[in-house]
Amino acid sequence: MIEAQNLTKVFKGFRKSFTAVDSISFRVEKGEVFGFLGPNGAGKTTTIRMISGISRPTRGNVKVCGYDTILDNVKAKKHIGLIPETPGFYDEMKGIDLLCFYAEFYGIQKVERKRKARELLETVGLKDFMGGKVKTYSHGMKKRLALAASLINDPEILILDEPSTGLDPKGISLFRKMVKDLNNKGVTVFLSSHILSEVEQMCKRVCILSKGKIIAVDSIENLSKKIGMKTQINVFIDAEGITDNVLDVVRKMSDVLRVEKTGTGINVVCSRNISPAVNETLVRSGVKVGSIRVTEPSLEEIFLKLTGEQNES
């Protein structure tokens, strides 16, 4: 659905030029919710502007539904719904009129325009405000309006640049539900977000960008495995009857880094998840095992590790 090849953006300054996006290539498949991550200034918004056909790549290209975003700009845009990082609206327009205006732009019939605009504004919780001018909307209300506006053309691809910032908890939950529902209906989602728990919840695959370059594109599971090899995994076991002898046996197991006593049992710190083997060892030693909880690296740890390594190099 999205195919970027050697996508590059160089900003020409007064004296020197700056490469904000440096020859990145990636593919987003149909039906995916694809996470796009990176520290401030990594080049995410610049990339999103090129995918959306707003900004011209300096080198390379990006295709959306097979259409080059520059050569086939209008066709590519027809398939895209975008929530920009900072949505800008005609402030003097009423919410409902603004959506009808966008609908007209996409060639939607007059009678259909109003029906669709109303329906979308209701869905995003702006039912009581649709007759008000956009300048009277709060920050979060504008964000909700942007969500409604991005859906007016029934896009096949939804591109979201930090959609949750500025939304209240109810708004965030509504937004996530809407995106999930759309994805279930086959809409492909490209999600850039600093809220890593949101990305973890919504995306299978992520791309991590740093200083304009891709440092990882993979499933969260695979990244977690790769990083897991470099970090520690905690296996918390609630159990009764753990003697010093048993502790020694567990300490000598392969991949175990150390064993700590906790109030209700032990924490086995290991280099990979060996919880089944630990369980077996404990049971064989006559220990009554209650529960086992494993904490593997979160997306936050993966992100910090990978972007941290980049900064060191």
Ligand X SMILES: Nc1ncnc2c1ncn2[C@@H]1O[C@H](COP(=O)(O)OP(=O)(O)OP(=O)(O)O)[C@@H](O)[C@H]1O
* Cβ nearer to ligand X, comparing 45 with 164: 45
- Hey, which residues between 80 and 99 contact ligand X (CB under 6 A)? 85
30 touches 186 (CB < 8 A): yes
Binding part of the chain for ligand X, among 39-47, 109-117, 170-178, 239-247 by CB under 6 A, reads: 39-47
- The minimum distance between CB 12 and ligand X, in angstroms, equals 8
> How does 218-255 read in b/e, with b if 16+ C-beta sit within 10 Å?
bebeebbeebbeeeebebbbebeebeeebbeebeeeee
- The minimum distance between CB 122 and ligand X, in angstroms, equals 30
| Sheet with 213-219, side-by-side order of all strands | 80-83, 157-161, 188-192, 33-37, 205-210, 213-219
Residue 297, class by beta-carbon neighbours within 10 Å (0-12 exposed, 13-18 middle, 19+ buried)? Answer: buried
CA distance 166 to 172: 9
Of 7, 8, 24, 45, the residue at the interface with ligand X (CB under 6 A) is 45
- The minimum distance between CB 85 and Mg ion, in angstroms, equals 5
* Cβ nearer to Mg ion, comparing 212 with 297: 212
Binding part of the chain for ligand X, among 34-42, 127-135, 140-148, 195-203 by CB under 6 A, reads: 34-42
What, of Mg ion, ligand X, none, does residue 41 touch, CB below 5 to 8 Å by kind?
ligand X
10 Å Cβ neighbour count for 134?
Answer: 19
11 scored as a contact of ligand X (CB under 6 A): yes
What, of ligand X, Mg ion, none, does residue 38 touch, CB below 5 to 8 Å by kind?
ligand X
What, of Mg ion, ligand X, none, does residue 156 touch, CB below 5 to 8 Å by kind?
none
Q: Write the DSSP assignment of 82-124 as a string of letters.
A: EE-SS----TTSBHHHHHHHHHHHTT--HHHHHHHHHHHHHHT
Hey, which residues does 191 pair with through a beta bridge?
Answer: 35, 160
- The minimum distance between CB 58 and ligand X, in angstroms, equals 12
CA distance 119 to 170: 19
CA geometry: angle 230, 231, 237, nearest 5 deg: 140
- The minimum distance between CB 161 and Mg ion, in angstroms, equals 6
| Binding-residue total with ligand X (CB under 6 A) | 12
10 Å Cβ neighbour count for 162?
Answer: 19
CA distance 145 to 140: 9
45 scored as a contact of Mg ion (CB under 5 A): yes
What, of ligand X, Mg ion, none, does residue 42 touch, CB below 5 to 8 Å by kind?
ligand X
Helical spans, DSSP H, in the chain: 44-51, 73-78, 95-105, 110-123, 139-150, 169-184, 196-202, 220-228, 244-251, 275-284, 299-312
307 scored as a contact of ligand X (CB under 6 A): no
- The minimum distance between CB 193 and ligand X, in angstroms, equals 10
Q: Which of 307, 300, 308 is nearest to 220 (CA)?
A: 300
Task: Give the CB-nearest residue to Mg ion.
Answer: 45
Contact map string, positions 112 to 131, toward ligand X, x by CB under 6 A: --------------------
Of 3, 33, 46, 220, the residue at the interface with ligand X (CB under 6 A) is 46
- The minimum distance between CB 44 and Mg ion, in angstroms, equals 5
- Hey, which residues between 110 and 129 contact Mg ion (CB under 5 A)? none
- The minimum distance between CB 68 and ligand X, in angstroms, equals 21
| Residues found near ligand X in the complex (CB under 6 A) | 11, 18, 20, 38, 40-46, 85
